[in-house]
């Protein structure tokens, strides 16, 4: 039995290397491997390209509304020079959640094509709906994207104002997420939003 194993390996290797009508199995496997690498590289490059600020503000609906608001916030310009761009807040970092978010975002292309928010007036009319959808996503994820930069244990509460210090301590005890208190941090709140309802 021992002697048949080298023969089996030799025959298997010969089959892999032997040319068929056109190609050997080894050539086909190698070509498939290279094609897979090229596909993955192209897919990953496209995913990252859609995470840039330039891509996000490429349409006038974003450039003329929420981008202008965002430029007035601490997330855009601050004393330390650290800037959070659209994808930092709206696209998860981990692969599985990122793919789900990208699939959902592809549905937003339908709204773009149909002109649902192609004027400032249409955008303002849908602002509450759009904001609520985003707040619900952030709440459901436990403000995961906020915690990419902000961490409870990284806060120096001695440098916070008394109200912020107290609110952060209470929020942590109560299991609240960032979006429970920080709506409107990077964009204007919808005119329909009532803070006292929270």
The answer as to whether 110 is a domain residue is yes
Computed on alpha carbons and rounded to an integer, the radius of gyration of the chain in Å comes to: 26
In a domain, 80, yes or no: yes
Divide the 198 residues of the chain into consecutive groups of 10 and give the mean pLDDT of each group: 66 66 67 87 90 91 92 92 93 92 86 87 93 94 92 88 93 92 92 73
In a domain, 50, yes or no: no
DSSP secondary structure string, 40-86?
Answer: HHHHHHHHHHTTSHHHHTSSHHHHTTHHHHHTTSTTTS-TT-----H
In a domain, 152, yes or no: yes
116: in domain: yes
Task: Provide the domain count of the chain.
Answer: 1
Q: Confirm whether 18 is domain-assigned.
A: no
The answer to whether the CB of 165 falls within 8 A of the CB of 157 is yes
Give the C-alpha separation, 61 to 103, whole Å: 20
> Which token pair is 131?
């904001």
Q: What is the pLDDT of residue 176?
A: 92
What local confidence, expressed as pLDDT, does residue 143 receive?
93
- What residues make up the domain containing 134? 61-193
Residue 22 maps to a domain = no
In-domain check, residue 99: yes
Q: List, for residues 105-124, the tens digit of each pLDDT value.
A: 888 888 888 888 888 899 99
pLDDT digits (tens, 9 = 90+) for 22-38: 666 667 777 888 888 99
Residue 109 has a pLDDT of 82
Number of other CB atoms surrounding residue 58 within 10 Å: 12
Burial 10-49 (b: 16+ CB within 10 A, else e): eeeeeeeeeeeeeeeeeeeeeeeeeeeeeeeeeeeeeeee
CB atoms within 10 A of CB 57: 19
What pLDDT, on the 0 to 100 scale, is given for residue 144? 94
């Amino acid at each position: 039995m021992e002697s048949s194993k080298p023969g089996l390996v030799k025959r298997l290797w010969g089959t892999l290397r032997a040319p068929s009508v056109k190609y050997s199995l080894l050539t086909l496997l190698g070509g498939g491997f290279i094609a897979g690498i090229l596909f993955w590289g192209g897919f990953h490059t496209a995913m990252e390209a859609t995470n840039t600020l330039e891509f996000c503000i490429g349409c006038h609906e974003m450039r003329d509304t929420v981008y202008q608001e965002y430029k007035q916030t601490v997330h855009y310009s601050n004393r330390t020079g650290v800037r959070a761009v659209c994808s930092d807040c709206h696209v998860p970092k981990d692969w599985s959640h990122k793919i789900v978010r990208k699939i959902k975002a592809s549905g937003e292309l339908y709204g773009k094509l149909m002109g649902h928010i192609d004027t400032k007036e249409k955008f303002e009319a849908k602002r509450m709906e759009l904001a609520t959808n985003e707040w619900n996503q952030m709440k459901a994820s436990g403000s995961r994207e906020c915690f990419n930069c902000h961490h409870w244990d990284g806060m120096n509460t001695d440098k916070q104002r008394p109200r912020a210090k107290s609110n952060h301590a209470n929020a942590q005890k109560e299991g609240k997420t960032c979006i429970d208190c920080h709506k409107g941090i990077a964009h204007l709140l919808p005119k329909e939003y009532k803070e006292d309802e929270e």
